[in-house]
Structure 1
Amino acid sequence: MSDASDARLTDRRNFIRFLAASPVMTPTAVRTLVGSLTLGSTSALAQSYDVLRAPAQAVGDVIAAPEQALNVMDFEPAAKKALPPAHYGYLASGVDGDETLRANHEAFSKIRIRTRRLIDVRKIDTSVTIFGQTYATPIMLAPVSSQGAFHPEAETAVAKAAKVKGNGMILSTVGSTSIEDVTEARGAPVWYMLYPTDDWTVTEALVKRAEAAGAPAIVLTVDRQGGRNTETLFRLRRDDTRNCKDCHAGGFANEVSRKPMFDDLDVSKVTNLYGTGMTWDYVDRLRKIVKGKLVLKGIVTHEDAEEALKHGVDAIIVSNHGGRAEESLYPTIEALPEVVKAVNGKIPVLVDGGFRRGTDVIKALAMGATAVCIGRPYCWGLAAFGEPGVAAVLAIMQREFDTIMKQVGALRIADITPDMVSVG
């Protein structure tokens, strides 16, 4: 730096100190003026850690507004407060003792991040391109069923928040909103997660409708074949005084009567939503009718990943249904490396399960994931505050991810490499 530049920088700092000491300048005014003075500066000035930059405000055990949240976990108590016990139980439940649900997130604590220094990270690019579509972030929204149980605006509110933040989105077969309405709210095509049913005619109709709406990928869920024991849901259901039969009358036709993707379909022959009995022959059959990309969700082993390649699958989502499929105690972040190794870069590998922090995201990307999917966190935001809650969850996770990208010295997603993490 030249002597003249040194002098200008010294003068600027002295002027800022003078303003801060002035009795006529409020802290807000000082910060605003300082921002204008440093705008466009090429000097790397120190970050502010002024605890007073946030408004002084009493916050109880449960946040009352999205802006009060410090992390995405703050939204869960607010969601629990806002929801009937059974609806919260559906969202919170894993299977059996919820041990796999907990293991999904706890496994991240075994992975350390190796940071780098003296890299200019003032400008980073977090965008990622999958199947020719570019998203602002590798944080996608996983399919979650029946979001109308969490908020009246359901998937529409989620899609609107995703549009603003640039997140990709996957819609569930049994979502509360049609793919046409979700696509309109998102302002771009969304992926469609397929529960196949045991009636091929219905399955084929669901695929055709999703593709007609522009869905670039059909995501076949393959981890719900053996049934499940959702004890947490059953336990909280006991505390719900409502007559749940008003909405859950029993029988497949009644169960999907409020699910718009089944409108005008004859479901009289359907007895099972999850297509019990699926084999790799079913994947072959589906591959023949899917015109776009076919994704398998629920793969957690290298054997199944290798088999998926043989059957023309275009991508894999490493998933145990958020700990809601089986009590395997096998966290998805631990399953990720063997799946990545098996596909050897031939197709994208996404992963979900237990993602709560931006640091979780970068760990998965460093271990070979193309993108990650979050489910419960954005639904907590939806249940508590609607669209603003979803937007706040996405903003918090993105802010954390931006921060850790800078700390490892990655300017773009491609710069995130395996040597940035240490496992064990």
Structure 2
Amino acid sequence: MSDQTQASGPSAARLSDRRAFLRFLAASPVMTPTAMSAIAAALAAGSSDAFAQSYDVLRAPQQATADGIISAPEQALNVFDFEPAAKKALPPAHYGYLASGVDGDETLKANHEAFSRIRIRARRLIDVRKIDTSVTIFGQKFGTPIMLAPVSSQGAFHPEAEGAVAKAAKLKGNGMILSTVGSTSIEDVTEARGAPVWYMLYPTDDWTVTEALVKRAEAAGAPAIVLTVDRQGGRNTETLFRLRREDSRVCQDCHLGGFANEVSRKPMFDDLDVTKVTNLYGTGMTWDYVDRLRKIVKGKLVLKGIVTHEDAEEALKHGVDAIIVSNHGGRAEESLYPTIDVLPEVVKAVNGKVPVLVDGGFRRGTDVLKALALGATAVCIGRPYCWGLAAFGEPGVAAVLTLMQREFETIMKQVGALRIEDINADAVTRA
């Protein structure tokens, strides 16, 4: 029973007549799906003001889940619901690759846990019926500040791979960054997205290959080349190694030794001579390498993996156009420094001269607002949309983006922000 008392007498009769009328409308062959949904909600509510008031408990259909794991995207209440569904859908090793941080996964955990130490200051009596969540970066307008971070080898999660992700991003208005070792070419991803995507560059240790990758990405329209600089020291992905033990498949059937075999199914390396390449990550990179790359990149050059004010200041000296504060989603180093905690020092060092983006641990719309309040231009998410991809393909990605955007819009209204520019440091405090 609700907190309302059971109707009786004339009121009950009127309610019964109203229900009969609604059922008559529902049976009409000309009713639209939207109208049908409204009528169904009204019938379920059983209240005279059902059309005027939306009850939270009726927001989603009541559907049972097996073992608490969703079986359809619309069952999800938040992005966390997609992780167990992804784990169920994937072979252990593939899930391990997605789930793994480095060493004890402590930095991975810290990335998200740090958001709980930041509080949001709500404001009242501001008309927030109309808000604008759009952002413009490098002259490209996106419907939301939530961008899709580069994640490698998405064919390991779903056959449609980055193509499905790009279609969902197009539908929801999100920006997207494609990995060098994605399972889909930049040309196909750009077509599916319906707009240019940024290109994340693993530089390799062969300049000829690096230059070819940059030229191909720019020829496909990529407005930004995103150089990843946080993989120079190698990494110990213990969670991946542990879950591989549970995988009965023979990994060598797909993963053969040697760089050429490693990238043989990565379309960005098609027709390239990789015989001189020994690693993807340019382990000998210095700031001189950034200078060299700056000379050949015709568009914008972004550094991904900056986590200190010293490196942010140095990046500006070398002509970098933007910075992504990142520890590779907790997969670069076990520093225990969450990206949301180091964001302010990078923002201060940059002093508004270039955009500052951030990734690492974003799971809620409130997380997004906290980052923007601390000075980020936009945020990038990785694992959440890959959970959606692994579990349900394109609809799963779209559902993840919808949920995070809905949460973000809700908290924007609570702080009284009508535009992204209205979100500032006054919106948050440190616990």
Alpha-carbon distance in 1 for matches of 2:91, 2:169: 26
Q: What CA deviation, in whole Å up to 9, does each residue of 1:12-58 have, x standing for no partner?
A: xxx9x95687341559879737999xxxxxxxx97522523432221
Alpha-carbon distance in 2 for matches of 1:32, 1:74: 26
Does 1:266 find its partner at 2:262? Answer: no
8 A contact 1:173–1:261 mirrored in 2 = yes
Q: Identify the residue that residue 123 of structure 2 maps to in structure 1.
A: 116
Q: Identify the residue that residue 20 of structure 2 maps to in structure 1.
A: 24
TM-score (norm 2): 0.90
Q: What CA deviation, in whole Å up to 9, does each residue of 1:55-83 have, x standing for no partner?
A: 22212311000000000000000000000
Q: Identify the residue that residue 402 of structure 2 maps to in structure 1.
A: 395
Q: Identify the residue that residue 194 of structure 1 maps to in structure 2.
A: 201
8 A contact 1:107–1:334 mirrored in 2 = yes
Distance 1:46 1:105, change over 3 A: farther
Q: What CA deviation, in whole Å up to 9, does each residue of 1:114-134 have, x standing for no partner?
A: 000000000100000000000
8 A contact 1:148–1:176 mirrored in 2 = yes
Alpha-carbon distance in 1 for matches of 2:238, 2:322: 32
SS in 2 for 1:422: strand
Alpha-carbon distance in 2 for matches of 1:383, 1:25: 44
Instruction: Identify which of 179, 182, 194 aligns with 1:175.
Output: 182
Distance 1:134 1:99, change over 3 A: same
Alpha-carbon distance in 2 for matches of 1:102, 1:52: 33
TM-score (norm 1): 0.91
Alpha-carbon distance in 2 for matches of 1:359, 1:344: 24
Q: Identify the residue that residue 98 of structure 2 maps to in structure 1.
A: 91
Alpha-carbon distance in 1 for matches of 2:137, 2:325: 16
Alpha-carbon distance in 2 for matches of 1:151, 1:113: 37
Does 1:51 find its partner at 2:47? Answer: no
Q: Identify the residue that residue 303 of structure 1 maps to in structure 2.
A: 310
8 A contact 1:295–1:313 mirrored in 2 = yes
Q: Identify the residue that residue 29 of structure 2 maps to in structure 1.
A: none
- Code of the residue aligned with 1:22 in structure 2: it is R
Q: Identify the residue that residue 6 of structure 2 maps to in structure 1.
A: none
Q: Identify the residue that residue 336 of structure 1 maps to in structure 2.
A: 343
Superposition RMSD in Å: 2.0
Paired residues, number: 401
**Offset, 1:393:** 0.2
Query: Can you give the 5+ residue segments of structure 2 that lack an aligned partner in the other structure?
Result: 1-10, 27-34, 43-50
Alpha-carbon distance in 1 for matches of 2:370, 2:88: 32
When structure 1 is superposed on structure 2, of 59-68 and 334-343 the one drifting more is: 59-68
Q: Identify the residue that residue 385 of structure 1 maps to in structure 2.
A: 392
Alpha-carbon distance in 1 for matches of 2:229, 2:247: 31
- Code of the residue aligned with 1:49 in structure 2: it is Y
Q: Identify the residue that residue 263 of structure 2 maps to in structure 1.
A: 256
Query: Can you give the 5+ residue segments of structure 1 that lack an aligned partner in the other structure?
Result: 1-14, 37-44
The percentage of aligned residue pairs carrying the same residue is: 86
SS in 2 for 1:226: coil
Alpha-carbon distance in 2 for matches of 1:342, 1:400: 30
Q: Identify the residue that residue 137 of structure 1 maps to in structure 2.
A: 144
**Offset, 1:88:** 0.1
Q: Identify the residue that residue 320 of structure 1 maps to in structure 2.
A: 327
Distance 1:224 1:48, change over 3 A: same
**Following superposition, which runs of at least 4 residues in structure 1 exceed 4 angstroms of deviation?**
17-21, 25-31, 33-36
Instruction: Identify which of 297, 307, 316 aligns with 1:290.
Output: 297
